[in-house]
Structures are given as C-alpha cells and as structure tokens.
Amino acid sequence: MLCQFTVKNFKSIRDEMTFDMQAAAISEHEDRIIKDRDGEVFLPVSAVYGPNGGGKSNVLEALHSLVFKVLRPLYATSDNENATIRIKRILIEPFAFSTETANAPTEFELFFRTALAEYRYELTVRKDVIKYERLDRIKLETGRRSALFERDENEIILKGVFSKLKTSEDLSETLPLLSYLGITYAKNEVVQDVLGWFDDGIDFLNYGNPRQELRMAVSNSDDVKKLMLDMIQEMDLDIVDFRVEEREHDRIEVFTKHIVDDYEAELNLFDESSGTKKLFGLLPFIAKSLSVGTTLVIDELDAKIHPVLLRYIIMMFNDMKINKHGAQLIFTSHDLSTMNSEVFRRDEIWFVAKGNKENSKLYSLVEFKNDKGESVRKDAKFDKQYLEGKYGADPYLRKIIDWGRVNA
C-alpha cells in the first residue's frame, strides 16, 4: 500500500511536493477507506487533474522513476526472461529552468506498507549518482520503530536487523544500496519484504508499450482471469471467453470468443475495436490489483475508455466489498463526468498546474481554499467549479495566475 510520496527537483517539479494517500479526517464516504490493522486509514483511489503541460504526468513519472531506479539493477542481474522486458534506463532529470536546480540533486521520499511493516525510504540522486539513501521501518504488530540503513557520500551504516550484513567496499556510486541488498541478500526476510513491494506491490501501466501490456494478459492466476471475464460481462462487451497463444520470439496472440445467436466465433484481439484492445491492456492490471491488493498507477486512464466504464472501474476500488485486499488506484485524467461528490471524496481529487516559472504545483481539493479562506464544500459541484477555474488549475489554461488561491 502506498502511504505518501514526496519529490523535489524532478522535471517540472521544482519545489518539494507531497502526494498523500492517507485519508483526511472528513465526513464524506467514510465507508470507502482502507483501514489497516493498526487503525490507520488510507485512500483506495486518487485522481490527478490539470491542463496539458501542467505537469500531472510528471508526478506519476517521479514515483515510477524512484521505483525503477531500485528495480533496474535487480532485473539486470535476473535470469528471469520476463524481467528483461522491463529493463530500461531511467533518466532522472532535474528542473531545468534554473541554474540552481539544474545542478542540484533530485530528492525522493516514500512511505509504503506491506503486511508486516510500514517503511520510509529516502533517495537523493544527482546525474545518476546516489548522494543520500536511508531506510527505516515500523512494525505494524508492535509499533516499534527502527532504522535499517543510512548512506551518504562518505559512508554506509547498516543498522538494526541489517547490522550483521556486509557491503562491498567498492559499491558503485550509481547503485542504490537497497538494490545491492536485494542482489546480495535476496533471501533475507526484511529485504524480501521491502523489495517485494517494489516489484509486486505497485504496478505502472504504460500505454506506450503495447507489447508489455499484451503480455500482461497472460495470467497464471485463475482468479485474475475469472475477475477479468466477470468485468467484461458487466461491461456488456459480448465476449464470453478469451485465450492466449504463445508464439516464437516472445510473441503472443490473444483470441476473444463471441457467441451470437448460438453461433460461436473467435476474433484475434487485433481485429477488435480500439476500445476493446485498450481494455485488454488494462483489465489484467485491474483484476490483479483487486485480487491481491496492489497499488496501480495509470497515466490518462480515461483515454479511449467510455466515461461509464471509467466510473465502473473507479467504483470497484471504492467498494470495500469488492476491494477486500486494500488495492489502490492512482491515475491522471481529463474526464469530468466522474469529478463529483458521488464518486470521489475531496481528498481523492488532486490538481496540478504551472506557475510563472514553469514549475508545477500539486494540491488536493480538500486543502484548497478560496479568496475568503473557505474550504470547498463536500456537496459542491466539483466539475463546474473546476471548469470555471475556481480551483487554480484551469483545464484550458496552462498556467495559473492567482497563486494566492493555493495553500503554500
């Protein structure tokens, strides 16, 4: 489960910004929150809105860059053929419109939870070189806090349960210590717990890589396939089944089964509509997330998906009878048909817009205040007020003019 993510000096993000999945103390939809074993409450859904070029995709990309900065060395040393699909170089770019920031490091801070503990991971990187790194944890069963390691340019200190582990004297300055521990001490229970979340606890859906998306349709889980078929039936897509064929050179083919007037026929997925193909790239991730409780991050979820289907997907995560394992859905969107108090809590709606220095600003609807210092009412017409530019992130303007409306 993702708890909180903070980033500074990444692409259009100049100043420190925090994206928070902790539920605020507000009264709406109190039955739509994830309650963890220690009583802490988290959001199952968050949507990020804003104009094109405002920087909303960079918020999700910053999180993706941190996760894959850690995972890439593990994939590169893995003998798993599927891992090679996911190996790509992650370039962490600072805010470019200032000499000070262009030469400064990018800073990340991540709070996340597994079934056993809450972890805090910090990473500071400049031109691929690790400047600072730290990992702490809180055991959920006992509430006990402990530091696990701390690293700067001069030394590495392993603490707590890691204190007896050893590190290489010539550890590469570009290799995260967390990655090194994953390679060297893969069987260590705490290392497995931490990196298990990075590898399996959070998924990023990149519509720009259809090969990877299509391969995700190959599922070894009967539960995932059953949930996919249930969703397809509820969406009334007239598809009763599908099958996948593995081909040479890492290729696959997906075939959909239709029954019309008792006549059964199969179609290659490439012959289906663009919307159906998009859904087949999306539904395996949705089904996996709901089945096992992962955090799913999607840029432009609304693209090519009918608003009714978009609402259906959001509401599955909001329904705690369906979302039994604490799954989370985080996405960017332009669709306003779902921006209302029936679908979202105010703390689940986020905005991103740019200031006059090309720097992006992130803020949630629950923390927004107008010129009079008043908060947005929970029964307000969110979509109407957004279109009127009352939330600072005008959907038709690239920049916001009155920064006084946004809490600094």
Average pLDDT over residues 126-133: 95
With 50 as the cut, is the pLDDT of residue 5 above it? Answer: yes
| pLDDT classification of 396: cutoffs 50, 70, 90 | low
Average pLDDT over residues 337-341: 94
Residue found under tokens 């928070």:
20
| pLDDT classification of 76: cutoffs 50, 70, 90 | confident
Under DSSP, the state recorded for 190 is H
With 60 as the cut, is the pLDDT of residue 208 above it? Answer: no
Amino acid at 335: D
Positive or negative torsion for Cα 24, 28, 29, 30: positive
Average pLDDT of every residue of the chain: 88
With 90 as the cut, is the pLDDT of residue 358 above it? Answer: no
Q: Which of 30-39, 192-201, 215-224 has the lowest average pLDDT?
A: 215-224
With 80 as the cut, is the pLDDT of residue 383 above it? Answer: yes
With 60 as the cut, is the pLDDT of residue 404 above it? Answer: no
Residue-level pLDDT at 253 = 82
With 70 as the cut, is the pLDDT of residue 115 above it? Answer: yes
Residue-level pLDDT at 218 = 53
Q: What is the pLDDT of residues 146-177, one digit of tens each?
A: 999 999 999 999 999 999 999 988 899 999 99
Cα 339–Cα 361–Cα 307 angle in degrees, nearest 5: 20
| pLDDT classification of 399: cutoffs 50, 70, 90 | very low
Average pLDDT over residues 257-272: 89
Residue-level pLDDT at 83 = 52
Q: From residue 187, give the alpha-carbon distance in Å to each of 74, 191, 201.
A: 14, 7, 18
Burial of 294 (0-12, 13-18, 19+ CB in 10 A): buried
Average pLDDT over residues 373-395: 85
With 50 as the cut, is the pLDDT of residue 47 above it? Answer: yes
With 70 as the cut, is the pLDDT of residue 87 above it? Answer: no
| pLDDT classification of 282: cutoffs 50, 70, 90 | confident
Kindly report the pTM of this predicted structure.
0.90
Burial of 60 (0-12, 13-18, 19+ CB in 10 A): buried
DSSP string, 226-272: HHHHHHHHHTT----EEEEEE-STT-EEEEEEEEETTEEEEEEGGGS
| pLDDT classification of 189: cutoffs 50, 70, 90 | very high
CA 84/CA 212 separation, integer angstroms? 11
CA 206/CA 216 separation, integer angstroms? 12
